[in-house]
Structure formats: structure tokens, C-alpha cells
Amino acid sequence: MITVAPGARRARVGLRGAGIVPWLVSRGPASASVAIGAGGALLLGGDAVRLDVRVAAGCSLAIEDVGGTVAYDGEGRLATWDVNVSLGPDARLVWRALPFIVADGALVERSMALSLGPGASAIVRETLVLGRTGERGGGIVSRLGVEDPLGPVLVETLRVRGDAPVPGVLGGHRVVDSVIAVGDAGDPPADHGQASLLRLERGGYVVRAVAKDAHTIDLDELTEAAVREAGAASRP
């Protein structure tokens, strides 16, 4: 669990984890930067990983993934990865995640549920890769649900298997790279290259690219542009 609340001189930060281990990098009166990494070999068949994130009103949290994640051959056993995020009014989250790799033989269910308070915003970078080098990849069901006080903002489910590609979903592609900006995140970057752009009805957007290999796409610059725009949108 990661929690951030305002303090007199420094934010009050709570950190607890087993499968995913968080540690504090820095903090200010109402902000914190936290790194996360695996507490052991992840993900193996039968593993059930859960991370809860709570950011209080007016606070900001930056999460840096320092190791990425590989879901290994589970020999028919399912692994689950669940993240639940709650942002209070005017809270901010920036999550820079490294690739989530689904190796041959892996079976994974992965979800993120994100709740936005009034005026809150989140920028999430995520990269899904089917298979390590020379592999086609296992099977994954990846779900994303974002809601604000008015109801659902974004609901997505991606169900794919590297050894049985679905026409019209990923086809021959192995990599899905996304920048997800929701809530009071400002306008999308003017130049998003060959990536597709989806504008959300109640503010926010998704920039997404697919490719056969991870090295052929890179949304790092778009991610940082989104972070700068969200910061500008949050200033009076």
C-alpha cells in the first residue's frame, strides 16, 4: 500500500508491500516520489499481487517502476495483478511504469481501478509486451476502469494470447504502449507522431501505439509532455 497525506513540513507517506515493495525517494509538504520493485520473483503461476494507492486531497504522488515485470510460464496456473487507486479532490498522480512482459506459457489477469475526486488528475504510462525475445507470448486479460464523481470515464478490456492473435485487436503486433491521462490533465500533446489519440468525453485522453517490437516505439517524450501539461492545468 502507498498512502500520501499532507504534513506540516513533509508529507505523511505510508508504505507497505510484499509482492510489490515501495520505497520513498523524496517528499515535500504535500508531495512524494516513490519507487516500486518486485519483492521476489514475479509473476509466477498462482501469484496474486495487489497494490492499493491512496492520495489525499491536494497532494501529489509520482511512482517510478524500477524493474518492470515479467509474467513467467505458470504451467497452467493463473497469476493476478490488481491495482486500486483513489485520488482525493485536486490530487495528482504520475505513474511511469516499465514494460509488463507476458512470457510464453504465462496466464495473467491484470487490472487497474482508478477513482478520481473532483479536480484530480492522473498520468499513467504503461507498456504491455507479449513474449520475451524470440517468444510469441502467453495469455493476458488486462482491464482498466476509471471513474469520477459523475461515473465511469474510461472502461477498457484487452484479452489477447500471443500464440493466437486476434484479427483487428493486435494482429501480428506484440507491443502496446500507452499514455493515459484522465481527469483535470489538460490538453493532449500537439504532436503524437504515429500513435493514435483518443479524446475522452469528460476531459483527458489516451495516446496509444502498437508495434511488433518494443524498440520501434517510444512514448517517453509524450509522457513527459503530458506531465508538463497536467502540471500547467493544475496551476491557477
- Concatenated DSSP letters for 122-163? EEEEEEEEESSTT----EEEEEEEEEETTEEEEEEEEEEETT
For residue 157, pLDDT beyond 70: yes
Greater pLDDT, 30 or 164: 30
What average pLDDT does range 168-179 have in this prediction? 86
Q: If pLDDT is split at 50, 70 and 90, which confidence band does 218 have?
A: confident
What average pLDDT does range 74-96 have in this prediction? 96
CB-based contact 220:97 (threshold 8 Å)? no
Query: Residue-wise over 23-42: b if at least 16 C-beta within 10 A, else e?
Result: eeeebeebbbbbebbbeeeb
For residue 180, pLDDT beyond 50: yes
Are β-strands 48-55 and 139-148 bridged in parallel, bridged antiparallel, or unpaired?
A: unpaired
For residue 236, pLDDT beyond 70: no
pTM score:
0.93
Order of all β-strands in the sheet with 79-87:
12-15, 2-5, 48-55, 79-87, 107-116, 139-148, 151-161
What average pLDDT does range 113-127 have in this prediction? 96
Q: Which of 107, 109, 110, 37 is nearest to 69 (CA)?
A: 37
Count CB atoms within 10 A of the CB of residue 144: 21
What average pLDDT does range 22-38 have in this prediction? 94
Strand, coil or helix: what is 230?
helix
Q: If pLDDT is split at 50, 70 and 90, which confidence band does 163 have?
A: confident
Across 12-26, 72-86, 221-235, least confident range: 221-235
For residue 18, pLDDT beyond 80: no
Across 44-48, 91-95, 204-208, 212-216, least confident range: 212-216
What average pLDDT does range 7-28 have in this prediction? 92
For residue 159, pLDDT beyond 70: yes
What average pLDDT does range 207-235 have in this prediction? 83
What confidence score (pLDDT) does residue 127 get? 94
